[in-house]
Structure 1
Amino acid sequence: MDIHRCPRCGWPLAELPAAQPVSRRLEYVRCVCGSWLARLDGQVVGATKGQLTR
């Protein structure tokens, strides 16, 4: 998993809207594909949907 991109669609995290902080280290952000991403210290550690298959 690329820690700087959405694991579902590959969208760069730097281009996503502002995140919703849960704590100083953990935040949630909605990707353009609709998946919720959990970021710990700015790196993706989880997502609500699996990777797209092509």
Structure 2
Amino acid sequence: MNRNRCPRCGWPLAELPETAARPVTHRLDYVRCVCGSWLARLDGEVVGATRSAP
């Protein structure tokens, strides 16, 4: 899995708007992808998603 892209649609995380991030701690945050999936990032790398790849 590419940890810098959404596992569902492949969108690059660097291209998501800043307002898409919901910080939880300095290491963990949640990001809403353009496809609607919530992504969990740990130290900037995707470690989980709410929807699996099609």
TM-score band w.r.t. shorter chain: over 0.9
Partner of residue 15, structure 2: 15
Unaligned runs of 5+ in 2: none
Give the SS at the match of 1:6: coil
Does the aligned pair in 2 maintain the 1:28–1:38 contact within 8 Å? yes
Please report the TM-score for the alignment, with normalisation by the length of structure 2. Answer: 0.92
1:29 to 24, 28, 31: 31
Q: Which has the higher helix share?
A: 2
Number of aligned residue pairs = 52
Unaligned runs of 5+ in 1: none
RMSD: 0.6
Runs of 4+ in 1 over 2 A off after TM superposition: none
TM (normalized to structure 1)?
0.92
